[in-house]
A = this chain, B = another copy of it.
């Protein structure tokens, strides 16, 4: 194995390959990390994509992002002042790095430093009441003064009011689409002001128009960037509650502002309180919980571990419960006769395992642990099979580490 230099920033070529890989069809954050674990480098994974998807049962060749497409994204990014930070690079937000399905590449407009500060998410109803908006303002100002960056989703109502109140102390807006397609329209005027002391981030291709399903997906980044998420006014079933659920799944704190039993906008937050969320009726309620967590600096130690790799760390333990180095599969830089023979044997094993796994999957999501137990396969086998099935567009991850068969009707 080649001795790799102790560097933590990607080279321009590596970053280019990372962007190509994550922009390719059916490559989500988890599959990206699994491919890095299997191939060691994005370039090698890109070469392997067509064959992996074929093995997974893809009905047509997988669409690999073209060199031209990624060149165009990088050119447009430079033009509008957007740069890319890869998972594990020093500029990557340390709290976000720890979530399942952390974006391998984050597009950033604004100040990188804003991503390094402790943050609190404030989210809530678009049709907020005057009292709700006033409270969002008060809370965002107070948290800003206490040294927290305020994260939100740029939506009308509570989100925009929170951003606005935290402009000078620093706020992060997370887009559901690409940086060149900001949404909603009334947030556009706010963006340069946010970028002045804070940041706008997106995991999507720079020209991506956000669709409905992109918003819940985006919400995991809102909660993931923060030590805790505060919900102010939320009806039952609203997007803010999805953000709160992500926060809980990510082991972050959840706060909810109480509201009158007669106010439908308080039903969601009152439900959160019933479920054990921290009550938030003043800035101190948040500080009392988060200041001690912030003092422990829970995310910095992971940065240490990243220093010794040529490409940033991708901590596969959070994905499969194993260290990639403990169960090495064939790697691109590991060639030779012996390796080739092993590859053939592994491929045969992998096909049998994949069929068993596929037969066990259905539209209801199951955990990877349960799946491995039911299929009686090793973690290594399930890992390979899931890469192939996901690249073939036949399985998808749903909340946490659960996978489900993609329903045919969902392939729109």
Contacts and interface: CB of A to CB of B under 8 A. Distances in A.
Interface stretch (A19-27, A64-72, A81-89, A266-274): A266-274
A270 B261 contact: no
A39 interface: no
A135 interface: yes
Nearest to A261: B281
Nearest to A134: B262
Contact of A285 (B131, B260, B262, B274): B274
Contacts of A263: 131, 260
A250 B274 CA distance: 23
Contact of A274 (B132, B262, B270, B279): B279
A133 to B, nearest CB: 10
Given A270-B279, A279-B270, A279-B274, A131 B259 contact: no
Contacts of A258: 258-261, 266, 269-270, 273, 279
A195 interface: no
A261 to B, nearest CB: 4
A10 to B, nearest CB: 45
Chain B CB count within 10 A is highest, among A131, A257, A279, for: A279
A53 B308 CA distance: 83
A274 B274 CA distance: 12
A260 B128 CA distance: 12
A275 to B, nearest CB: 10
A142 to B, nearest CB: 12
A257 B279 CA distance: 13
A179 interface: no
Interface string A122-164: 0000000001101100000000000000000000000000000
A270 B260 CA distance: 11
Contacts of A270: 258, 279, 281
A267 B267 CA distance: 19
B279 A273 contact: yes
Interface in A352-399: none
A280 B132 CA distance: 20
A282 interface: yes
A44 B280 CA distance: 58
Contacts of A135: 260-262
Most buried by B among A258, A266, A273: A258
A146 B263 CA distance: 24
A262 to B, nearest CB: 5
Interface string A62-103: 000000000000000000000000000000000000000000
Contacts of A285: 274
Interface in A271-294: 273-274, 279-282, 285
Contacts of A260: 131-132, 135, 257-260, 263, 266
A273 B277 CA distance: 11
A282 B269 CA distance: 14
A281 B258 CA distance: 10
A261 B280 contact: yes
A274 to B, nearest CB: 5
14 contacts: A131-B260, A131-B261, A131-B262, A131-B263, A135-B260, A135-B262, A257-B260, A258-B260, A258-B261, A258-B266, A258-B270, A260-B263, A270-B281, A274-B279
Given A258-B273, A261-B280, A261-B282, 7 more contacts: A131-B261, A134-B262, A135-B262, A259-B259, A260-B266, A266-B281, A270-B279
The 8 residue pairs across chains A and B that have the minimum distance between CB atoms: A258-B258, A261-B281, A131-B262, A270-B281, A135-B261, A131-B260, A273-B279, A274-B279
